[in-house]
Amino acid sequence: MTLVMSHAVLEADQEQNARKSAAFRADLPGARRGLILDAMRVAPLVLLVLVWAVPAAAAPTCEGRQGQAMRCGAPGAMPLGWRAPVADRQLPGADRRDVFVALAGIVLLFALIALLPEFDGSRAEDWEPEDGKSDPYSGLR
């Protein structure tokens, strides 16, 4: 008896879903319906291509005599895998302006962190009310 009733309920539910689906399809104009259905068919293929794509390998870089990166085969480039001697490398120097800008950025970051409001969770107003009245999204749930 239960099996017969559940089968009848299942058939009724399937008929209702078919009517809803037909009504949804009837609401869309023909061209747009075809476009949406085509996009739904192509989307999984695009997703598979993006997931299984093999990244392209870049060409190797070589070093110049002063240690700078260069394209292999360019004039002044050493052979692939060779490294410039430490004595010949020219390290870029930092001028005073660069040091000042870096220190000013760090000081600004610490100042912004210091201006953050205190929150330790001990006060009642630190937490949202549980009734949800101040939640702007409470009507959407």
Distance of CA 63 to the CA centre of its chain: 34
Band the pLDDT of 104: cuts 50, 70, 90. Answer: very high
More confident residue, 110 or 65: 110
**How much is the pLDDT for 80?**
87
- Report CA torsion sign: 94, 100, 101, 107: positive
**How much is the pLDDT for 108?**
98
**How much is the pLDDT for 135?**
56
**How much is the pLDDT for 101?**
96
**How much is the pLDDT for 45?**
87
Are 70 and 61 within 8 A, CB to CB? yes
Q: What is the pLDDT of residues 56-93, one digit of tens each?
A: 777 788 888 888 888 888 898 888 888 888 887 777 77
In this prediction, residues 16-39 reach a mean pLDDT of 63
What would the two tokens of residue 136 be?
Answer: 């702007």
pTM of the full structure? 0.32
The fraction of the chain above a pLDDT of 90, given in percent, is 14
Per-residue b or e along 39-51, where b marks 16 or more CB atoms closer than 10 Å to that residue's CB: eeeeeeeeeeeee
